[in-house]
A and B are shown apart, each in its own frame.
Chain A
Amino acid sequence: MIAWELLMQNSIWAGLAAVGFALLFNVPRRTLFGCTLAGALSYAVRSLLLELGLVGIETGTLLAATLVSVLGVVFGRVWRVPAVVFAVPGLIPFVPGSLAFRAVSDLLTLTTGAVSADDTLLMKAVVSTLKSILIVGAIAAGVAVPSLLLRRDRPMT
């Protein structure tokens, strides 16, 4: 059973996050809607893929990041601006902030030696570190997809 309501809510939050970052990067005002859309849509797609249990979070992030960057190219053609305008704010919601923070704090706790006998902490630290690295890698790989596929005879959008 898919929690549609939560999915909708989260997409709205993702759209808000995207548009906030769009303002930080000073995108042209007329593209703000596109940025919101790119952020919300791609987050919804990732949540849906995860909900359906089709893919893990790493693959899901890869697919969603690919979607964002493809949307960036399409929207860039529509609004006649460089694709990065949409891609960067749209990707921000995928940053594994909480996971990475937990990874660092677990790793630091390990160094205190207070829990030397605790194997689960070690496992947790390693797993969350690896997951964070993989998710960041997935974002990077997804971003790269359009530039790998599109042969640009005409320079720049």
Chain B
Amino acid sequence: MTKRQPVQNGSLERPSQNKAPQPPLDREVLADIVDMALTAGELLMKNGAESQRVEETVRLLGTGLGCDWGSVLVSYNTIMVTHASGNEFRTKIRRVENIGVNMRVIEDISHVAHRVEAGKLDRASVRAKLEQIRAVPRGYNRWVTALAVGSACAAFSRLLGGDWPVFGVALLASGVAVIVRGELAKRGLNALLVVLMTAFAAGGLVGLVSRFQFSPRPELALVASVLFLVPGVPGINAVEDLIKGHIVVGLARAANSMLIVLAIVLGLILAVQLTGVRIS
């Protein structure tokens, strides 16, 4: 009779880019690492990162903190990860809502990932960093944002060939619309409805002002004032995901971007028809 071999957990799986084998970790430590990796991934996803970045960061936080290997699944609104060390492994799923774009958070997380990779951060300091990043409020004051976005949309109206009255009206309408969007978003309405209502508010304002015949081409102000609603980041992420092989997430993002564009169009059309802007 031959002697039976001891059974090994997960012995068929091998790390793809294995360095020297790392000392095995406790289950509790592993759970902690999984939690932090997911938190980093969640922060990235919530703030407008593409799937590749999320996946690499989540995996890197595991291997960088002492796991042997990690597998990550990024879907449109969920992250799932398995990190393993020795014969132990831990798997966790986290649901994530896509809420907006904040480049600052993406940059901060990317720095944390770099330093973990370089072996300069231990578990405690990674946790502290993540808490800190999560606690930082949205950077720029909303009035500053409103002014900046207003100026940007007004500048855009000049690019479209608008005159100075159009510039002024676009500045006003988009500035107000930014505040309106902030207020609506706070109330937890459906994201598409928020876009629609914001576009309606901007368009309605331009429409009302156009009663005073401020310019021969009021429609330029109308278009410029909703430019900030255009789903630029989701659209670009959709393309990035599609070409990097995250096809399903890419398609979902593309569909979402199209819905947002439709919501903008619908809001504008409602505003045009109710206020009767003359379109040349």
Contact = CB atoms under 8 A, between A and B. Distances in A.
B135 interface: no
B169 to A, nearest CB: 15
A53 interface: no
Interface string B215-249: 00001101110111010110110011001100000
Contacts of B69: none
Contacts, number: 145
A7 to B, nearest CB: 12
A21 B152 contact: yes
A43 B152 CA distance: 14
Secondary structure of the B contact surface, majority rule: helix
A101 B49 CA distance: 29
B46 to A, nearest CB: 13
Interface string A64-105: 000000000000000001101101100111010110011011
A95 B230 contact: yes
Nearest to B228: A24
Nearest to B261: A100
A155 interface: yes
Given A26-B139, A98-B223, A19 B243 contact: no
A144 interface: yes
Contact of A20 (B50, B152, B233): B152
A101 B222 contact: yes
B116 to A, nearest CB: 12
Given A27-B103, A28-B103, A17 B232 contact: no
Interface in B148-187: 148-153, 155-156, 158-161, 178
A92 B244 contact: no
Contact of B243 (A9, A97, A148, A157): A148
A152 B114 CA distance: 15
A91 B232 contact: yes
Contact of A84 (B106, B222, B224, B243): B106
Nearest to B279: A105
Interface residues on A, range: 35 or more
Interface in B245-280: 265, 268-269, 272, 279
Given A20-B148, A156-B110, A25 B227 contact: no
Contacts of B104: 26-28
Contact of B232 (A21, A26, A85, A141): A21
Given A82-B53, A82-B103, A97 B228 contact: no
A147 interface: yes
Given A21-B232, A92-B152, A141-B239, 18 more contacts: A17-B155, A19-B152, A20-B152, A21-B149, A23-B152, A26-B101, A26-B105, A26-B139, A28-B107, A82-B107, A82-B110, A84-B103, A95-B227, A97-B224, A98-B161, A101-B268, A147-B243, A155-B60
Interface of B: 48-50, 53, 56-57, 60, 101-107, 110, 113-114, 138-140, 144-145, 148-153, 155-156, 158-161, 178, 219-220, 222-224, 226-228, 230, 232-233, 235-236, 239-240, 243-244, 265, 268-269, 272, 279
The 4 closest A-B pairs by CB, nearest first: A20-B152, A23-B148, A16-B155, A13-B155
